[in-house]
Amino acid sequence: MRWLDTEERGGSPLVVSDKNDVDALLNIDHRIIDRNLIKREVHKSGLLIRGQNHIGMIPVSHDLGIRVRPKVPVSQIVQMLSLISHDIVELPFGLAEITASEDDYDLLKAIRRSFCDQLPTLIQKGPIRRYRRNRSIGPGARGRIDVSGTINRAWARGRYDHLSTEFYEFDYSNFLNQAMKFAIGYLIDTMEESNNSIQQQMNILVESRTILESVSEAPPYLFLSPLRDHLSTDVSEEPYLSFRPLLNLALLIASGETPDVAGEAEGIQFSLPPLVLDMEKTFEQFCIAIFNKSLNGESFELLDTSGVSNTPLLHPPVESNHFWTPVRATESAHPDFVIQQRDSSWLIGEVKYSLSPSSSHIHQVCAHADAFSCNTVLLIYPSKTTLKSPRLEMLGFLAEKRVFRLWISIDFTSLDKLIESINMTALALLNSEDYSNKKGVANASQI
């Protein structure tokens, strides 16, 4: 497969001038555009492709794809994900199995390398035998005789020489092998142009696919649910324990490819589906996780109140007006998190995966604060540059609400030091009613 490389939102756009590539991009599956995975823009120099909040692999045609690179190495993103305790977006499993170097900015490449590192388990042990219970009615006795079934299903119909029996037989075409076969096929189909390292990976993938040749193929929506259930339970017996890392990665690949499971269940399928990670959701959950961890043992409690609605709950003021005029809306308030103490809300937090702070962000978080009767709000943004520690700024007051902004660097060098810094920042913010910085107090509605 041939790849076109671009960067996530905020990076340089990809300029496509080749006529065949432009035609393919203009006819890309509408669900790619509907999910806002990329944006297309016609320009005099060609077709501009801009990455959005998702990173990873996006198919264009059977032989062309777009790779959206993150702003930080994949190893840094894995560190962020490892702190998040619950499942998120498209990559719920397999995080511990991903190995990525510090200069690796290709999510699919890191997943493929990690998957190939685990394939010797399949090569050595072969497909997983999974036994299932079957029933049979016939003149011969195989397995355990089912007396009730024999009477009701055989003798009641005059077949006195027949017995109803139950027996177990193993089946290679089970959901575990089907998941591995799907992941192997996916990684082969998305393989880029060959070099020595790629050729080694291709060889082990082809060998593994041959081992699973007798396994029937299945679309992901048939095996995703039982595979999730299997991996959500603790197993200690073999061969399931040895296969667990490989199955985790297979689930990661299979669940990442499904933008609309319900749509797939209705027979609507991608010829080659996308494998992407929502960085906006990842950054939001990462910030909530580090605040929660930093406040562990303190008298404050963090509540994850994020919901599906991010609609501002009041209209922004007229541009000529520099005072805050709240307008109630019918939607419920869904701030990303609330920090409270003894049932009293102390701080409302909103996380924005944006490099350009907006006044609408201030109005949104203040509307949430109004619903929670809270007078301190915090907006969190990813830093444009590397910071040794998070940087807290006071923007000023909006009506009676104190508005703060916090910059967090996502290319941190030490997770423990970042959590320690967040702890100091949060406690200083929560315990001080008169916090200000060198900028002094401003009118937040003018920012």
Place 66 in a pLDDT band, splitting at 50, 70 and 90. Answer: very high
pTM: 0.73
What angle in degrees, to the nearest 10, is found between the helix axes of 415-430 and 279-294?
A: 70
* Residue 263: pLDDT over 50: no
* Residue 371: pLDDT over 50: yes
Give the pair of three-digit tokens for residue 16: 């496509």
pLDDT in tens, 137-168: 777 666 677 778 778 877 777 777 777 777 66
Q: What is the pLDDT of residue 242?
A: 92
* Residue 325: pLDDT over 70: no
Exposure of 277 by Cβ count < 10 A (0-12 exposed, 13-18 middle, 19+ buried)? buried
Q: How many Cβ atoms are within 10 Å of 23's Cβ, its own excluded?
A: 11
Place 125 in a pLDDT band, splitting at 50, 70 and 90. Answer: very high
Q: What is the pLDDT of residue 25?
A: 92
**Continuous segment of H or E residues that includes residue 227:** helix 220-231
Q: What percent of the chain has pLDDT over 90?
A: 19
Q: What percent of the chain has pLDDT over 70?
A: 78
**Continuous segment of H or E residues that includes residue 200:** helix 196-211
Could you tell me which of 298, 285, 286 has the C-alpha nearest to residue 429?
298
Pairing of strands 391-398, 401-408: antiparallel
CA atoms within a 13 Å half-sphere pointing along the CA-CB vector of 423: 13
Q: What is the pLDDT of residue 20?
A: 92
Pairing of strands 376-382, 54-61: unpaired
Please state the rounded mean pLDDT for residues 43-59.
Answer: 89
* Residue 193: pLDDT over 70: no
Place 182 in a pLDDT band, splitting at 50, 70 and 90. Answer: very high
Mention every residue, 6+ apart, whose C-beta is less than 8 A from residue 258: 90, 220, 221, 224, 264, 273
What angle in degrees, to the nearest 10, is found between the helix axes of 175-189 and 107-118?
A: 130
Place 327 in a pLDDT band, splitting at 50, 70 and 90. Answer: very low
Mention every residue, 6+ apart, whose C-beta is less than 8 A from residue 122: 180, 208, 211, 212, 243, 246
| E strand spans, 139-284 | 144-145, 163-171, 275-278
Mean pLDDT check: name the lowest of 55-59, 166-170, 339-343: 166-170
| E strand spans, 215-297 | 275-278
Could you tell me which of 132, 226, 119 has the C-alpha nearest to residue 178?
226
Q: What is the pLDDT of residue 276?
A: 85
| E strand spans, 21-155 | 38-43, 46-51, 54-61, 64-69, 130-138, 144-145
Q: What is the pLDDT of residue 432?
A: 60
Please state the rounded mean pLDDT for residues 250-275.
Answer: 56
**CA distances to 115, 320, 425 from 118, in Å:** 5, 62, 42
CA distance 167 to 149: 13
* Residue 75: pLDDT over 90: no
CA atoms within a 13 Å half-sphere pointing along the CA-CB vector of 271: 9
* Mean pLDDT of all residues belonging to the chain: 78
* Residue 205: pLDDT over 90: yes
Q: What is the pLDDT of residue 48?
A: 93
pLDDT in tens, 294-303: 887 677 777 7
Cross-strand bridge partners of residue 64: 2, 61
CA distance 125 to 120: 8
Q: Of 80-94, 144-158, 327-341, give the range with the top mean pLDDT.
A: 144-158
C-beta of residue 402 within 8 angstroms of C-beta of residue 414: no
Give the pair of three-digit tokens for residue 277: 């990670």
Q: Of 207-221, 335-349, 352-366, give the range with the top mean pLDDT.
A: 207-221
DSSP string spanning 328-358?
--SSPP--SEEEEETTEEEEEEEE---SS--
C-beta of residue 346 within 8 angstroms of C-beta of residue 376: yes
Helix (H, G, I), strand (E, B) or coil at 212: coil
